[in-house]
């Protein structure tokens, strides 16, 4: 398995957990989950992202955007600029 795939798979699993929790925990708790668990996966593997394709970079960006939407509680109807 490539590092890119492993990183995105791990991050996606955590996003799924955050999605399930978003209605039952406070935003502050969701932010802590993001900072403690999801962000390290993405940041510590940043060396690997230098050699990835544009498609993989776009997938990574989608993970970041989805995490921001979950933590802030805003819907998909809000533009990324407003996010």
- What would the pLDDT profile of 67-82 be if each residue is shown by its tens digit? 888 988 877 677 666 6
User: CA 47, CA 53: separation in Å to the nearest integer?
Assistant: 14
pLDDT value, residue 46: 67
This prediction has a pTM of 0.77
Is residue 62 within 8 A of residue 11, CB to CB? The reply is no
Where along the chain do its domains lie? Answer: 3-72
pLDDT value, residue 48: 64
Residue ranges for the chain with pLDDT beneath 70: 1, 3, 46-49, 76, 79-83
pLDDT value, residue 18: 93
User: CA 76, CA 23: separation in Å to the nearest integer?
Assistant: 16
DSSP 8-54: HHHHHHHHHHHHHHTTTS-HHHHHHHIIIIIHHHHHHTTTGGGG--H
């Amino acid at each position: 398995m490539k590092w890119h795939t492993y990183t995105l798979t791990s991050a996606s699993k955590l996003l799924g957990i955050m999605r399930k929790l978003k209605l039952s925990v406070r935003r502050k708790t969701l932010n802590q989950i993001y900072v403690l668990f999801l962000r390290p996966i993405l940041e510590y593997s940043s060396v690997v992202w230098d050699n990835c394709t544009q498609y993989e970079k776009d997938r990574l960006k989608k993970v970041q955007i989805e995490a921001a939407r979950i933590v802030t509680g805003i819907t998909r109807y809000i533009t990324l600029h407003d996010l």
